[in-house]
Chain A
């Protein structure tokens, strides 16, 4: 078990390293540098002063030197300063990261609360009109763009009914973005649960359990559900990571103050330290979630521990 986890952690560290290198290289391929953008559309500095500012920010150095300097500071726990406004990147990210995680968790709760029972029920009723009906709903759910669903929910619940606030970051404000993000993921969870449960229902041990004369309820909850959940958990882990990154559209619609929106702004402003900080944080979160999942996975399924 520990050897297994150790291996996963080493792989995770490598993933994070490769990601940061790739991002540093890629971001410099995009035309325009942050100093130029900061002075776009308003005059105020001579070309010589722009060069001076670039020098102060270390932007005149070759990319590999910039990267090494970045890693050097990183090892001291220093993510650098934002180019816009000169503030510590760590503070800027940490102010928003809890909001993004809260949104992803809330959306996950919505997705599970809706998707799991639907998928399970559809599997139970497989081949019937109920099954087909539920899956049509699920496919529709996957196909609806966040942008459209978000605006519809916003106009209905916030403008027409006035039950919920339109935008901002707060306890009541989380409902609409979480539902928007959760609903489309609920559809994915439902489909995944259904196919996984159907697979399990066809297996020998389920038939044996039924043959033993166990009540249907016990067979479903104790045998089918438990075995069928393993792939669903994996998929939910991936979905969680996706929701943290993919929440950008939803964050924008509802003005939810998360890291996704911050990252998009930073990309437009070529604020390299913020982009690097975001990718690093994101990579760490995704890697941690996947290691955690592997651990859960190993606990649920003893065969994995030994592999």
Chain B
């Protein structure tokens, strides 16, 4: 027995010694950014998660970029024009842009990317967002023309989003594209990706910043960027404190203390396009009647609830598409959004025959995480004030999406409402949600369908804005989509004090080009 233990002890000691040596060898200073999960793939045509999109935005570049307000500006394309009908878009590319493998980035790469997205065998998972593109024509090495079957104005903001990352055509021959190969022209080059663990990026020395929201016009200042996976919020905080990690999403409840102590800086993303809103099962009572939906709207004091749970990290949102997205206008939306007015809510409920003895009963479906369960409890209390008895059900997003659709397809039963969460860079999101048949088979009408179709084809910005706002008006007045707040998820970053220059572009794209790290 004694002998066995000693041998074991020796083995452990040797193992520990090897461990120390290995750890000491890897001590280069890179920016370390920790997130709760991993990407799905490095192939921009094969995933939709925010984690993946943020990573693509570092490796690849896009034809257009967004300014601080979320509006599209020139980037890899120094200019773009469209015909009057809005069916042809011509892009003129910047000179001298190089892919990570040294080949020039030209019109052929754009053609390769678009045609790949429309591949018959395996089209991009977000193919529909490109619009009805029928042809890509290389006019000269620096000019490329996209032809559309019908006008689709959401194409322009789409080309500023990482879904439309320009993939260099030298990836064509790599079987490992998406897993260990990802040749782009963005500020960071892929070094390695260990699934579930980390993505290691090195700076692209040839990078020129044409339109991204960084002051630095050239390559990033730091040599490397490591994106690591740390699922547990408390562990991320611990790693931030020890300096193992430079930037990460902190646990919410620790944010006030961190701000107070000044131990870590807090950076909050703005113009995220994230919209958290009430919606309802509209094909059965009580929410088939718009008065019941509006009563919920009038009973909800979003500003108070957010203040309690998120402090100043999040703000009330009045429009069905959030700040940063085309058409958003708080003043316009506030005219039509059911404002906080408990008396009005009670009056509406009384009209419907509900009262103190007969509360309106409903389930309230909420996505788990991000302190939303606490927020839901406050809303529950607010609804109870006017005589709405809501039972909270918390679930993961997958279950929630299935459940909400199921509720809309069930003609009888208790009322059902949910705190839904969506984000997109264009009001075209409303088409997906509310044009027949509707993402969740919820409210639709021929009039609304016609209005939504109009928002897709109007090329004049002012005309389109008016059309988009017409849609807002219907959604708000009828209590179909009652906005609550923005942003709603993965938008708070804790940053070590010696890290300078970290910023977050609209739609939650972190920018590391300006980052420098001083002495800690």
Contact = CB atoms under 8 A, between A and B. Distances in A.
A42 B424 contact: yes
Nearest to A37: B398
A41 B38 CA distance: 17
B196 A262 contact: yes
Contacts of B231: 252, 255, 261
B240 to A, nearest CB: 9
Contact of B23 (A84, A95, A170): A170
B194 A95 contact: yes
Given A43-B429, A85-B43, A38 B125 contact: yes
Interface in B9-68: 9, 12, 15-16, 18-20, 22-23, 34, 37-41, 43, 46-50
A266 to B, nearest CB: 11
A235 B125 CA distance: 48
Nearest to B488: A41
Interface residues of B, number: 72
A43 B432 contact: yes
B448 interface: no
A154 B198 CA distance: 20
B403 interface: yes
Contact of A172 (B1, B19, B34): B19
Interface residues of A, number: 61
A294 B48 CA distance: 47
Nearest to A225: B1
A168 to B, nearest CB: 7
Interface in A261-287: 261-262, 265, 268-270
Contacts of A56: 122
B47 A44 contact: no
A170 B19 contact: yes
A257 B229 CA distance: 9
B43 A168 contact: no
Contacts of A44: 48, 125-129, 163
Interface in A95-151: 95-96, 109, 112-113, 117, 120, 151
Given A95-B196, A169-B197, A170-B19, A47 B401 contact: no
A32 B402 contact: yes
A44 B245 CA distance: 33
B303 to A, nearest CB: 24
B423 A117 contact: no
Nearest to B244: A166
A85 B242 contact: no
Contacts of A92: 195
Contact of A167 (B127, B194, B235, B406): B235
A263 to B, nearest CB: 11
Nearest to A155: B238
A112 B234 CA distance: 29
Interface in A44-98: 44-47, 49, 53, 56, 82, 84-87, 92, 95-96
Nearest to A33: B402
A44 B128 CA distance: 6
Contacts of A15: none
A30 interface: yes
A240 interface: no
B235 A254 contact: yes
Given A42-B422, A84-B41, A36 B241 contact: no
Given A53-B125, A86-B46, A168-B198, A41 B238 contact: no
A151 B234 contact: yes
A159 interface: yes
B440 to A, nearest CB: 10
Given A33-B402, A170-B23, A159 B238 contact: yes
A31 interface: yes
Nearest to A253: B232
A30 B22 CA distance: 44
A255 B228 contact: yes
B517 to A, nearest CB: 18
A151 B8 CA distance: 27
A19 B126 CA distance: 36
B238 A32 contact: no
A245 B194 CA distance: 22
B238 A31 contact: no
B242 A162 contact: yes
B5 A167 contact: no
| Max count, chain B CB within 10 A of own CB: residue among A42, A84, A92, A95 | A42
A265 B37 contact: yes
A40 interface: yes
Contacts of B234: 151, 154, 253
A84 B242 contact: no
B23 A171 contact: yes
Interface string B421-453: 111100011011100010100000000000000
B4 to A, nearest CB: 9
A165 interface: yes
B46 A85 contact: yes
Nearest to B432: A43
A40 B19 contact: no
B376 interface: no
Nearest to A36: B401
A284 B40 CA distance: 26
Contacts of B9: 113
Contacts of B127: 44-45, 49
A203 interface: no
Interface in A237-256: 252-255
A1 B86 CA distance: 80
A85 B198 contact: no
Contact of B397 (A37, A151, A170): A37
Contacts of A165: 23, 242, 244
| Max count, chain B CB within 10 A of own CB: residue among A84, A167, A171 | A167
Nearest to B1: A221
Contacts of A169: 194, 197
A268 B396 contact: yes
Given A44-B125, A44-B126, A159-B242, A86 B429 contact: no
A271 to B, nearest CB: 9
Nearest to A86: B46
A174 B238 CA distance: 17
Contact of A41 (B1, B34, B43, B397): B397
Contacts of B23: 165, 170-172
B398 to A, nearest CB: 4
A230 interface: no
B128 A49 contact: yes
A85 B178 contact: yes
> Which 10 pairs, one residue from A and one from B, show the smallest C-beta to C-beta distance?
A85-B41, A171-B19, A44-B126, A32-B402, A85-B40, A37-B398, A32-B398, A31-B402, A43-B432, A172-B19
Interface of A: 30-33, 36-47, 49, 53, 56, 82, 84-87, 92, 95-96, 109, 112-113, 117, 120, 151, 154-155, 158-159, 162, 165-172, 174-175, 221, 225, 252-255, 257, 261-262, 265, 268-270
12 contacts: A32-B403, A38-B49, A42-B48, A49-B128, A117-B5, A158-B242, A165-B23, A165-B244, A166-B242, A167-B235, A171-B19, A255-B230
Given A43-B129, A45-B129, 18 more contacts: A31-B402, A32-B402, A37-B397, A39-B125, A44-B127, A44-B163, A46-B128, A84-B40, A84-B41, A95-B195, A113-B9, A167-B235, A168-B198, A168-B228, A171-B23, A174-B19, A225-B1, A269-B398
